[in-house]
Structures are given as C-alpha cells and as structure tokens.
Amino acid sequence: DAAAALLRGEPPEIAATSAPGCALDVKTAAPAATGVTYHNQISRIMQAHCVECHRKDGVAPFSLETYDDLVENAGMIRKQVERGVMPPWFAAPPAEGHASPWANDTSLSARDRADLLAWLASDRPPGDPADAPLPRNFPAEWLLGKPEVVVQLPQPVAIKAEGTMPYQFVTVPTAFAEDRWVSAYDILPTDRSVVHHVIVQVHEKGARVRNRGEGSEGYWAAYVPGNTHHRYPAGFAKKLPAGATVSFQIHYTPNGKKTQDQLRLGLHFAKEPPRYVVHTAAVAHPRLSIPPHTARHVEVKEQTVPANMNLTALMAHMHVRGAAFKFEATRPDGTHEVLLDIPRYDFNWQLRYDYAQPHFLPAGSRVKLTAVFDNSESNPANPDPSKTVRWGPQTHDEMMIGYFEYFTPRKDDVAME
C-alpha cells in the first residue's frame, strides 16, 4: 500500500510496527520462596487470573494451564508481570486499607505478585500433584454456555491480507413478536485474529437504522479486547424490542493473511421480566485536535447528569495515541469524587470496570472526562507523530468516549441525553 501511494505521488500511510520476539528466560538456581510450589500455589494464581484467556482454544496466543506451559513461557510471563501488563487491569489501585470497588478486578495482590515473580526466578519447584486444584473447565465454544438465540451476520465478510479496512456496518432483522429481556450476551467471531472490536446497536421496529459512529451514542453490546461477553445480575436485563433490527459495526484489522469472518451474537433470556433495565450511555468528545509531536495533550469533556443514575460499570475508549483516561463527578452539594482513574490506558485492552455495588449519582451531578494523548515519537504505537490528529473511525484517527452503564426501574425508562 505504501509503495502504491508513492507511485501515485501521494504520501504513504505510515503504520506503527514493532520488532517481534520473546523475552529470554533467565532463571537462577535459588530455591523458591519457602513452601511455594507450582501445585500448591502458583497453579491457583494461574486459574484465578490467567487461564480464562491462556488456555487451549482461548483468545491468548499460548496456554498457561500446566506446569510445563509456565516453564516454557517463564521469561515472557516474568517480564509482563513486572511491567504490570499482565494480568490486564489498568484502574488505579484503591487507597491503602480500602477494598477494590470493582467486581471484576483481575489484578494480582501484592503477595501473589511477589510469590509468582520469586517462583519464576527460582528453580521453579513443581511440588506435590496431590496439592493441585481441580482443573478449570471451559465450554468448547460459547463462554457463557449455548445461547438460546444466535444472531449471525447474513454472510461472511472478506478480510484482505494487508492495509486497513473501512468499518463494516451490517444489519440483521429479528422476528420476535414480543419484547425479550436479555440476561447475558456473548459475541463470537469465526476468526478472532482479525476482529479488533464490535459495537452492537438495537433499533426499534420501524426506526431508521444508521451507523452511529463507534458507539458515540452508547451501545447495546460490545466486543473489545478484554470484554467479549457479559452476564447481568439476577433481576437485571437489557431490552430487545419486538421486531427490532440489530446492527453490527465491526473493526477488522488485517493480519497478513486473507480470511473471512461471519460474526455471531449469542443471546440468553431472562425467565421473567426484570425488575431493572440496563442501559449504556456515552459521553463523547468529537471535537478533538491533537497537535503533532506532543507527548502529553489533554482533552476535557463535561456533561450534566439529567436524572438520578445508579451506575453499574464504566468503560473508556480511545485509539493508539490514548495514554490515560479519568472519570470524575461533582455532586450538586459540591462533593467531588474520582469514579475511575486509568493512568496507563492500553488500546489493546479496553476493559469494562464493573462496580461491586451500584454507584449512585444524583440528578444535576456534573461528570468530567479527562483524556491524555501521546502524539510523540516516544509512543511506539503512534502511526505518525507529525500529523494533527482528529476524531475518526480508523486506528490512526482518535476518539474519546466514556461509557456509563446504569439501570432504571423497568417502568421508569430514563436515558442520559
């Protein structure tokens, strides 16, 4: 693509590249921490924090289900844990003495982290197999089990080998005669290697269906790195209206090989109408202007909460120049709080941050989103630090969206405008 652009007399599109390779495994002859073996402790850390992705047929590039798996990848694991890249969790830690507010916090405790790193750097004793936990079992295909209904793209999408692809916008009609209440969803590509993220919207029967620009008006379901499925608590569900149309906005990233993908959305239904309806609203800042050669460019977006909101989750979205993201709120009485601080945003891991308990924001609260962008040469993922970057759908463009998941009583359907 770059050569073709030069022949046309046009500037080539510059893509960020990285040198392939693996971390060297350097272990010492020192014994592990007293009593710590693979079977009695390290295997449990792997099960709690790693194997949902790092398993046979999982989304990760290698398995960590066995002792041999860990030994084979010890150098890489040690490097990623030391850097804080794995397990993927990017929210700032709670204040000392306070519990994490997040139900899905995958971060390692200080003790587990120290024990794991010490074991990796030691002679890595396997220990007694009798101490091992039972293996975790995962469904062969759908992580949440076989869905009741599958909404599938009508035909495969052809993915080219190289370059960039425009976002695919595909609509699929449904034939439900009455409203359905979705208690869980699972999004499953047929070729996960080329799917970066998916935004799912639901449109009422007869409504005009249009591409809403990567969820800038909220989303109904999403597939992003680290977030491919979700189950709502008992008594909570999302509404799928009778006769609705489901739309998929899909970001495909060619990986050097021609392929195709026919993505599926698996739905699980509540047994009865829920007590609470789950919504996802977005606060977007499309008027971005990020100057070239700037290591720390700050953008701020504020908005007033129009009605009482019981928050259940937050999620941030930027592209590869995104460096940090913060959600803050000021209540009508003047009290201020940080809802979520992501000091090191990672485009490859756009996680949901699920509250362990609903977090209440009264009507009239002012929410403030602060995003930091790194458009400098020191950002290894930066496609071109010489460009002024604005809002756009491709990875070399930028976005700034804060998602707020919240619930309302089923008979009081209030949305955030």
102, 194: one domain: no
Q: Is residue 312 part of a domain?
A: yes
Last residue of a domain, one of 226, 244, 271: 271
Domain boundary among 240, 271, 302: 271
Separation between Cα atoms, residue 43 and residue 83, nearest integer Å: 21
Q: Do residues 201 and 295 share a domain?
A: no
Residues 174 and 241 in one domain: yes
**What CATH number should be reported for the domain holding residue 255?**
2.60.120.230
Alpha-carbon distance values, 98 to 94, 220, 305 (Å):
6, 32, 27
Question: Which helix (H) or strand (E) segment is 196 a member of?
Answer: strand 195-203
310 domain-assigned: yes
Q: What confidence score (pLDDT) does residue 7 get? A: 43
**Residue-level pLDDT at 43:** 98
Half-sphere exposure of 298 (CA within 13 A, CB side): 6
Together in a domain, 256 and 291: no
pLDDT tens digits, the chain, 417 residues: what are they? 544 443 444 544 544 444 444 455 555 556 655 789 999 999 999 999 999 889 987 878 899 999 999 999 999 999 999 999 899 999 999 988 899 999 999 999 999 999 999 999 999 999 999 999 999 998 888 999 999 999 999 999 999 999 988 889 999 999 999 999 999 999 999 998 899 889 999 999 888 776 655 556 678 999 987 689 999 999 999 999 999 999 999 999 999 999 999 999 999 999 999 999 999 999 999 999 999 999 999 999 999 999 999 999 999 999 999 999 999 999 999 999 999 999 999 988 889 999 999 999 999 999 999 999 999 999 999 999 999 999 998 889 999 999 999 999 997 544 444
Query: 109 and 187 in one domain?
Result: no
153 and 253: one domain?
yes
In the prediction, which pLDDT does 206 show? 83
- Are 115 and 169 members of one domain? no
Cβ atoms within 10 A of the Cβ of 175, count?
7
Residue 382 backbone phi and psi in degrees, to 5:
-70, 120
Tokens 């022949």 belong to 7
Q: Residue 396's domain spans which residues?
A: 280-409
Does residue 1 form part of some domain?
A: no
15 lies in some domain: no
Residue 197 lies in a domain: yes
The reported pLDDT for the residue numbered 196 is 87
- Looking at the fold, whether 212 and 154 belong to one and the same domain comes out as yes
Token pair in block for residue 411: 């008979």
* Residue-level pLDDT at 312: 97
* Model pLDDT, residue 301: 98
pLDDT (0 to 100) of residue 415: 47
Identify the pLDDT of residue 23.
52
Q: Does residue 192 share a domain with residue 251?
A: yes
Enter the tokens of residue 269. 């239904």
Q: What is the pTM of this model?
A: 0.84
End-of-domain residue from the set 131, 159, 191: 131
SS (H, E, C) 25-56: CCCCCCCCCCCCCHHHHHHHHHHHHCCCCCCC
How far apart, in Å, are the Cα atoms of 297 and each of 80, 133, 292, 391? 27, 48, 10, 14
132: helix, coil or strand? coil
Q: How many domains does the chain have?
A: 3
Are the CB atoms for 160 and 254 separated by under 8 Å?
Answer: yes
Is 407 in contact with 236 (CB distance < 8 Å)?
yes
Compute the half-sphere exposure of residue 133: CA atoms within 13 Å on the CB side of its CA. Answer: 16
